Amino acid sequence: MRIRRPRRSPTVSVNAMSDIAFLLLIFIMLISLLNYREEEPIDYPEAALTEITQGDRNFEIWILRDGTMIVHGNALPLNAIEGMIADAVAADPSVRIHLLADRSTPYRHVADVIEVLQFLQHRVVSLVVSDTGGAR
């Protein structure tokens, strides 16, 4: 006499998939922290012609409305920034200096940094603006 066993369809354990999803979520959160960039809330000026630069080789100087200059999240006087620029250029002569200023920042604050760059004879400077989607 033959005994027939009931046929079962193959199943996939869902428990392992939830573990993988959780680990993937943690991995993405950690990676996003590595790409964290300290930014100051400013209202970017607009420009008709824009150029995208290499983000990993930029030295950013944030200039606020009141003339406060911020580098790497720290408010610094202009003479300290001058030393940091000189060190950055000595380490990598092709470093691009990015000046990020609010739309309503008086130009004299930006001109102070430009004078320092002229004194150091550094020619690779970008004035960062918002991309309005205009002509390129």
pLDDT digits (tens, 9 = 90+) for 5-28: 777 777 777 777 888 888 899 888
C-alpha 83/C-alpha 95 separation (Å) is 15
| Residue 1 domain-assigned (yes or no) | no
| Residue 17 domain-assigned (yes or no) | no
| Residue 14 domain-assigned (yes or no) | no
Domain that holds residue 59: 46-131
Handedness of CA 124, 125, 130, 132 (dihedral sign): negative
Q: Domains in the chain: how many in total? A: 1
pLDDT band at 122 (very low <50, low <70, confident <90, very high): confident
What are the pLDDT digits (tens) for 39-82?
667 666 665 655 565 566 778 888 888 888 988 888 989 889 88
| Residue 23 domain-assigned (yes or no) | no
Only one residue has tokens 């406060």, namely 68
Q: What does the pLDDT average to over 87-113?
A: 84
CATH number, domain containing residue 59 = 3.30.420.270
